[in-house]
């Protein structure tokens, strides 16, 4: 993992070196992702022993803060901070191969499981107000097709709402500051970035 200043792209600094210790045996390319909080705390995942671990690194002090492993979770993907930097949402995989949504309370070091089914739930991200998680899932897909749509998980009612209805693969949802939802899709055969306006309107 490297960092650079947007105003000086020639100055690149290595933050974490993979395959350099038992703590960071390997990165899972194209799966894990990473996220940076407003306070400069970097959440990322590497393999540690037989399972993945969630790491927090302070990019301002350039020092590791903590790391967490979870007994029932072997694979961790796409960690995402809440706006207040208290919670991290991620997709966790059991030894059985099931991928579900989890939220980790960093302050109290408490893990909560949100979904528990045979669908593939990935790429969670918090809405700007912290009330919802947007995520990608194949929960409406024909098993033969590789179809993923975007869903909302209401953190108050635990209700799941389908946001898109596409015959494509929609992944990596992310909210910008004004609440518009950005995601990636191969709709039309080419991978592009899409935006939904007024996603919270009734």
Which parts of 6-148 are beta strand (E)? 8-14, 34-36, 41-48, 51-58, 63-68, 75-81, 87-93, 99-105, 110-113, 121-126, 132-137
pLDDT at 202: 45
SS3 at position 4: strand
DSSP state of 202: -
pLDDT at 172: 94
- Cα separation, 95 vs 4, whole angstroms: 36
In this prediction, the residues of the chain whose per-residue pLDDT falls under 70 are 19-23, 25, 28-32, 141-144, 200-202
- Cα separation, 7 vs 135, whole angstroms: 32
pLDDT at 75: 92
In this structure, are residues 168 and 147 in contact, taking their beta carbons and an 8 Å threshold?
yes
Reference 34, options 3, 73, 9, 69; nearest CA is 3
């Amino acid at each position: 993992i490297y960092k650079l200043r947007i105003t000086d792209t020639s100055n690149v600094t290595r933050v974490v070196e993979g395959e350099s210790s038992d703590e960071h045996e390997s990165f899972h390319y194209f799966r894990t992702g990473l996220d940076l909080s407003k306070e400069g705390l970097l959440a990322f995942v590497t393999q540690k022993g037989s399972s993945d671990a969630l790491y927090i690194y302070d990019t301002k002090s350039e020092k590791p803060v903590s790391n967490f492993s979870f007994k029932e979770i072997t694979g961790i993907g796409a960690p995402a901070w809440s706006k207040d930097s208290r919670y991290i949402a991620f997709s966790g995989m059991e030894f059985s191969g099931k991928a579900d949504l989890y939220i980790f309370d960093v302050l109290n070091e408490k893990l909560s499981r949100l979904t528990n089914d045979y669908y593939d739930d990935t790429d969670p991200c918090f809405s700007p107000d912290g009330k919802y998680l947007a995520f990608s899932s194949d929960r409406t897909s024909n098993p033969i097709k590789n179809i993923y749509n975007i869903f909302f998980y209401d953190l108050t009612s635990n209700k799941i709402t389908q946001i898109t209805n596409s015959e494509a693969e929609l992944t990596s949802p992310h909210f910008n500051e004004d609440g518009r939802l950005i995601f990636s899709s191969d709709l039309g055969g080419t991978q592009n970035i899409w935006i939904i306006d007024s996603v919270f309107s009734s």
